[in-house]
Structure 1
Amino acid sequence: MDGLTRSAHVDTFARDHLPPADQWPQLRFDLPELRYPERLNCAAELLLGPADDRPAFRTATGTTWSYGELRARVDRLTHLLTGELGVVPGNRVLLRGPTTPWLAACWLAVLKAGAVAVTVLAQQRPHELRTMCEIAEVRHALCDVRSVDDLAKAEIPGLRITTYGGDGPDDLLKRPAPGTPYAAVDTAGDDVALIAFTSGTTGRPKGCMHFHRDVLAIADTFSRHVLQPHAGDVFAGSPPLGFTFGLGGLVVFPLRAGASALLLEQAGPKQLLPAIAEHRVTVLFTAPTAYRAMLDELDGHDISSLRRCVSAGENLPAATWRTWHERTGLRVINGIGATELLHIFISAADEHIRPGTTGVPVPGWQARVIDGEGRERPDGEPGLLAVRGPVGCRYLADPRQREYVRDGWNITGDTYVREGDGYFRYVARADDMIISAGYNIAGPEVEEALLRHPDVVEAAVVGRPDEARGQVVVAYAVLGQGARRDAEALRAFLKAELAPYKCPREIVFLDALPRTATGKLQRFRLRSGGHTEGDQQ
């Protein structure tokens, strides 16, 4: 393709299926650290630097891999990939398993071999796996032996599955391989390094293609300038490596900083708090729901080691931010990212945090709020969020590229307001705006009001079609243990918090909200009625 560097890929599928050049977003490399060389292998770059005896990955059982051990194991895996398994540069390799050092090492080996990593979630079902392998034409898979059943059941034509972590002689980790260093394939900075499939969508998944330089760019923007890690940090969090929030927070950012990461196979709120205390975690990545859930479990857990808390995946309610700050003294770094852009592009840290806003564009990124015609909206007026920077959306052979990229900007699908001082405030997903009797109502605003009630643990608000009003506001609430399901009392509380037209016409109590495997709320299931039955009042 015109303008791209000479590729190292023998299998040219990924480059051949990039969107046409006129559908690409405008890329910006405004910071000196973003001016990467033409030849670049991001795995080799991430493994450079720290002394061999420095810790790289830790596990809940107390196992620690040093950087020297990680480099040696990645080289051994790369020898196996390119030798016995026959992987050539450009081949797509599916990676599947719980969050472990071996999964991270396999990811690094695939990239070092010049292949393309397609990391999926361990929870995804056979039909989902089959669809993704069909879209990306995947023919190789490295799979934790504990996660192989659904992959085998998918019966993907031509897929060679190699398991790791098992007892059989054919297990990847038991095969003989050279113990010598492996010289990374001389990939171009704009060779595709990974394909990340979008989560939480309805319909056919979209494969987002990211280059070797993109992997470093997310570390050299958000991590370097907002998170500001140092080599002594211990990272941990709940998002899996098949979710780009987790890939950045648990692999790319710590390795780029020469730090270490605690990789937890089980990383719910109940597991995170004791892990923080035992392993002296300093940097935490998780979703707003987990921060809220951990508030009820804080007593008896020592989290004094924490110095950074990062929230993304969905909007962080101001009430959750304030309560966490009051209880812990820690300021949560809120951020918005997207699979299409790999990681966080609007955020703020320390004294620059303003609860209730997402923040300002991360250094290296630009953002604005536009109308449906692409015109910039005045400050204080809601519109579509448009961003651009060193990473941009490139869907794998998908006509929806034209919807996401317009006039060189990435249109994220979020409704935002830019305040007069440059801070960006989240309003709703563009398709979550409720129009009732002529009023525009942002579901997340009603959710935040619900969450201010002491009995409400989780909340979701959607619009339901109504013949008279167009739509009516329907609220779904999960209450704390022992709380009484009293819709009238909750309505009375909301009437003191919101304008009358924003108050829900209907309140449904659920035991749990529907979420994706990565923790994102599935409002579309609530809109369609495909949710767990609850008390309707």
Structure 2
Amino acid sequence: MNVSAHVDTFARDNLPPPDEWPELRFDLPELHYPERLNCAVELLDHADPARPVFHAPSGDTWTYGDLRAYVDRIAHVLTRDLGVVPGNRVLLRGPTTPWLAACWLAVLKAGAVAVTVLAQQRPHELGTICSIARVGHALCDVRAVDDLAKAEIPGLRITTYGGDAPDDLLNRPTPGTPYPAVDTASDDVALIAFTSGTTGRPKGCMHFHRDVLAIADTFSKHVLKPHVDDVFAGSPPLGFTFGLGGLVVFPMRAGASALLLEQATPKRLLPAIAEHRVSVLFTAPTAYRAMLDDLDGHDVSSLRRCVSAGENLPAATWRAWHERTGLRIINGIGATELLHIFISAADERIRPGTTGVAVPGWLARVQDANGDPVPDGEPGLLAVRGPVGCRYLADPRQRDYVRAGWNITGDTYVREDDGYFRYVARADDMIISAGYNIAGPEVEDALLRHPDVVEAAVIGRPDETRGQVVVAYTVLKEGAQRDADALRGFVKSELAPYKCPREIVFLDALPRTATGKLQRYRLRTEGDRP
């Protein structure tokens, strides 16, 4: 590895041992990055400063020059007033706005490590993330600070932005001079993105400065092929790497712009597309299905690219969208561990019902549990290699995800004889609902924190609209009232609302084997429900 610029070496110190890393490949010339690289500088400094970069629903537009000035201002405050040093972890929390994006870029420019979380996440979740990543600083939208403050995280210094207080991040005096970017190594950790695991404990995925550029220089450059005049928009928040790439990294790497929406539901996306002449759209299959019902009366003629990820895109949804709009949805699969999309196809290469082929710069194959490739046409585990790989923060599950140099995504796939990859199912107990990854055990843990719950088992049930919905089976203390609404309300106070069970089934006992092992398959089979 290169000489680190980090003064706080926690992130590098907690990388997995080298023999547990995946094999990294830099097969394209554009992936040969220099040893010293700050990705914020690369994203900020190569565009015309007079061109637009971010649009807000209010009609305000920031240019690249504006953004650079705001980023420098925030970076000065971080280092001069707040004492942030290179390598410190800085939590970022708030709805999707230009200011959140500016904070993210400022953290990276200052050589710190960005830990972006969802505005929906609750105190318990935030506390766990901060504990794992040893977070000492947080920049938080003033409208989203309550849950972060309630978490009472030891040693966390919270600085709000967007408020009227004199100590607000944006109200502090600054030198008004450019901020000299920290000379980070290309393999210094730039961000830690958290994903839920099947054990329920979040996993911190560490990504380098070069990784941020690599996702743009593979999928975006070779599949999406953005234009400088494109306007990006979409539903994933910046707390998801799907949103971070699609709404910040990809447009900025191309010198294009993005519309950042705080509320990006299907009903809000359609009028926003027309008003702001959005040309590149990122969202999940659930949203495309929902927008089909409301297309009449909305002008989507500005769209030229539609990207789908987060869950499997059914062929019927692809065809219905194509028939109504003439647009071919670019399907893709990505992972937080790999930062963004690594299998996809565009234009005439699209084949409805498949995910696509390996993105240039990536390799993919289907293998069995022993790591041996399976013949085309047979299902197996999806294995991937490329310029970005899984590096969990001090987590033994690294050995499960990376095997013999391959990233094992946890998806069951079939490779067709012409090289196209077709999704079959998740290979673990992860529930994917409307594009959100939900770990059943994490929801079980929240249910078990209720004083009346004795046992809980959570599964995903197929659903035509959302892909899957969360269903919880619970056993209560004797005499406790079976009130599903009250129990759902409790879970919503513990976890982000999207993780809350859509259905709660009360049982006298959970189905178990003679040795006490939970029989989840019986819960997944409707006819076998106890």
Q: Same fold (TM over 0.5)?
A: yes
Change (3 A) 1:12 1:474: closer
Structure 2 partner of 1:153: 150
Match of 2:411 among 399, 411, 414: 414
2:110 matched to 1:137? no
* 2:395 alignment partner in structure 1: 398
Aligned to 1:307: 304
1:324 aligns with 2:328: no
The answer on whether the counterparts of 1:243 and 1:518 sit within 8 Å (CA) in structure 2 is no
Write the deviation string for residues 2-41 of structure 1: whole angstroms up to 9, x where unpaired: xx10000000000000000000000000000000000000
Letter in structure 2 aligned against 1:134:
S
Residue pairs, 1:426-445, within 5 angstroms: 426-431=423-428
How far did residue 374 of structure 1 move?
Answer: 0.2
- Aligned pair in 2 of structure 1 residues 159, 393: CA closer, same or farther (>3 Å)? same
- Deviation of 1:529 (Å): 11
Q: CA deviation at 1:57?
A: 0.3
Aligned partners of 1:313 and 1:520 also within 8 Å: no
Instruction: Give the 5 Å matches for 1:206-245.
Output: 206-245=203-242
In structure 2, the CA distance between the partners of 1:519 and 1:165, relative to structure 1 (3 Å rule), is same
Q: 3-state SS of the aligned residue for 2:81? A: coil
SS in 2 for 1:417: strand
Q: Structure 1 residue aligned with 2:271, among 264, 270, 274?
A: 274
1:476–1:349 CA distance, 2 compared to 1 (3 A): closer
Structure-to-structure mapping, 1:133-532, within 5 angstroms: 133-199=130-196, 202-431=199-428, 476=463
Matched residue type, 1:252: V
The alpha-carbon deviation at position 100 of structure 1 amounts to 0.2
Q: For 1:66-145, list aligned pairs within 5 A.
A: 66-145=63-142
CA contact (8 A) 1:40 1:213 kept: yes
1:200·1:522 contact (CA, 8 Å) conserved in 2? no
CA contact (8 A) 2:120 2:497 kept: no
The residue number in structure 2 matching 1:40 is 37
Q: Structure 1-normalised TM-score?
A: 0.82
CA contact (8 A) 1:288 1:315 kept: yes
Gaps of 5+ in 2: 434-439, 441-458, 467-487, 506-519
Whole-angstrom distance in 2 between the partners of 1:107 and 1:394: 21
Deviations 1:85-108 (A, max 9, x none): 100000000000000000000000
Q: Secondary structure at the match of 1:278?
A: helix
Secondary structure of the equivalent of 2:170? helix
Structure 1 counterpart of 2:219, one-letter code: F
Structure 1 residue 431: Cα displacement: 2.8
CA distance in 2, matches of 1:517, 1:55: 33
Separation in 1, partners of 2:197, 2:310: 11
Cα gap change, 1:85/1:528 in structure 2, threshold over 3 Å: closer, same or farther? farther
TM-score (norm 2): 0.83
For residue 178 of structure 1, report the CA deviation from its aligned partner. Answer: 1.3
Q: Deviations over 1:444-466 (max 9, x none)?
A: 9xx9xxxxxxxxxxxxxx9xxxx
Indicate conservation of the 8 Å contact 1:100/1:265, yes or no.
yes
**Cα gap change, 1:530 to 1:105, in 2 (>3 Å):** farther
The whole-number CA distance in structure 1 between the counterparts of 2:33 and 2:222 is 17
- Equivalent position of 2:511 in the other structure: none
Q: Closer, same or farther in 2 for the Cα pair 1:473/1:115, shift >3 Å? A: closer
Q: Given residue 40 of structure 1, which amino acid in structure 2 is its aligned partner? A: L
Counterpart amino acid of 2:393? L
Partner SS state of residue 9, structure 1: coil
RMSD: 2.8
Residues paired across the two proteins, number = 463
2:515 maps to: none
SS of equivalent residue, structure 2 residue 425: strand
Instruction: Quote how far apart the aligned CAs of 1:476 are.
Output: 4.7
Deviation, 1:179, is 1.0
Return 5+ residue gaps in structure 1 as ranges. Answer: 434-442, 448-461, 463-471, 480-511
Query: Aligned partner of 1:115: which letter?
Result: A
Whole-angstrom distance in 1 between the partners of 2:212 and 2:497: 20
SS in 1 for 2:311: coil
